[in-house]
Amino acid sequence: MTKAVKRIGVLTGGGDAPGLNAVIRAVVKSATNEGIECVGLEDSFDGLIYPERSWPLTLKHVTGILRLGGTILGTTNRGNPFAYPVTTPEGTADYSELCCENFKKMGLDALIVIGGDGTLGIAYELHKRGVPMVGVPKTIDNDIVETTMTFGFDTAVSFATDAIDRLHTTAEAHHRVMVVEVMGRYAGWIALYSGIAGGADVILIPEIPYDITKVIDRIRERDKWGARFSIVVVAEGARPSDGAREVAVAGTADRMERLGGIGAKLSQDIERLSGKESRHVVLGHLQRGGSPTAYDRVLATRFGAYAVEALQRGESGVMVALKSPDIVSVPIEAIVGRTRNVPVDGDLVRTGRHIGIGFGD
């Protein structure tokens, strides 16, 4: 028989996403109602490495946080306990054993880990070393497999759509091409959704390498029938068919490369090759900030409540997921190291093509 869960550690890892606090709130409320104590672990796994960076997480702490962006627990995308950044010549140290020991010392029965593919992969390794855990998928990029949607995505798309709406009016007034760079490292979901919602003329995503001459053709075509402006939405991870992704800062042993620059490059190329004036805007971290939309609040709340339910059923090594209309749990093994890409022949891209959106191919 599985041991009853009486004390849960809760942590958030990786880049933040609107809705993290809504998950934390749902976990604490559901757990408290079941007589389960919660412990908040600060800054991802740091709260397990340094137990003094953990504290009792009660109803009082989660009151009023449903609508707040960010995370009351703090987060980091540099805290992998298996390769923790240190100042010795090796550069990293393995603190995973320490995490397992501290987990026991802190009297925890399980963890609820809210994070992306990287954070969930780390938690899964700890699970294999005897730390029971349930994961909650988070990323504004919406690129985690086995779940139809991650929370944070809807908020990011709503923000980007609003930005595109605003850029439309100035693009039209000045007869310019406005290039909007949105997030989306490996997958173009934000670009595709916000581009369709915002009425973009060209959408460039990592899944479809683009040919700049095709982009120019599309802009010229619009000019011909009287639309003297164009809106181009580009995902940060998009690349030309004859080139590489734009990297702003190279990666290190404990940190992924930072993308950025494709919007500026495209805008320059468009101006040079089409003769039309062009400007670019990078939406960047604005997409990750602010209050979650109603959709994200509901999804985050469902995920949090279900994670507690799953632990009570004795599940571990699983991630909660949306398989519309239900919330289910799936083995983490099935998601680690995989990316949910935009299907290039799927309905969304086809819809875009039907209404004349150019994908640069």
- Minimum CB–partner distance for residue 159 and ligand F6P (Å): 12
Query: How far is it, in rounded angstroms, from Cα 238 to Cα 221?
Result: 23
**How far is the first Cα of the chain from the last one, in angstroms, to the nearest whole number?**
57
Q: Which residue has the tokens 């980007």?
A: 160
Q: Min. distance of Cβ 157 from ligand F6P in angstroms?
A: 13
Q: Please state the closest distance from residue 184 (CB atom) to ligand F6P, in A.
A: 6
User: Are the CB atoms for 31 and 308 separated by under 8 Å?
Assistant: yes
Q: Which residues bind ligand F6P (CB under 6 A)?
A: 15, 77, 139-141, 183-185, 236, 258-259, 288
Helix (H) or strand (E) holding 169: helix 153-174
How many Å apart are CA 197 and CA 143, to the nearest integer?
Answer: 19
Give min distance, CB of 46 to ligand F6P, in A: 16
Residue whose Cβ sits closest to ligand F6P: 183
Which of 43, 109, 141, 143 is flagged as catalytic? 141
For residues 4 and 313, give the distance between their C-alpha atoms in angstroms, rounded to a whole number.
9
Q: Which residues contact 210 (CB under 8 A, 6 or more apart)?
A: 204, 238, 239, 240, 241, 359, 360, 361
- What is the closest distance, in whole angstroms, from the C-beta atom of residue 141 to ligand F6P in the complex? 5
Nearer to ligand F6P, 151 or 229 (CB): 151
Select from 16, 12, 42 the least CA-distant residue to 24: 12
In terms of Cβ atoms closer than 10 Å to its own Cβ (0-12, 13-18, 19+), residue 221 is: middle
State how far the Cα of 252 lies from the Cα of 85, in Å rounded to an integer: 10
Q: Which is nearer to ligand F6P, 20 or 57 (CB)?
A: 20
Whichever of 144 and 305 has its CB closer to ligand F6P, that residue is 144
Phi and psi (nearest 5°) for 140?
-70, -20
Q: Which is nearer to ligand F6P, 38 or 299 (CB)?
A: 299
Strands of the 202-204 sheet, one edge to the other: 202-204, 230-235, 177-182, 278-282
Using the minimum distance from each CB to ligand F6P, give the nearer residue, 57 or 235. 235
- Minimum distance from residue 276 beta carbon to ligand F6P (Å): 29
d(CA 17, CA 134): 19
Question: Residue 154 catalytic?
Answer: no
- Cβ proximity to ligand F6P, 184 vs 198, nearer residue: 184
Active-site residues: which are they?
Answer: 141
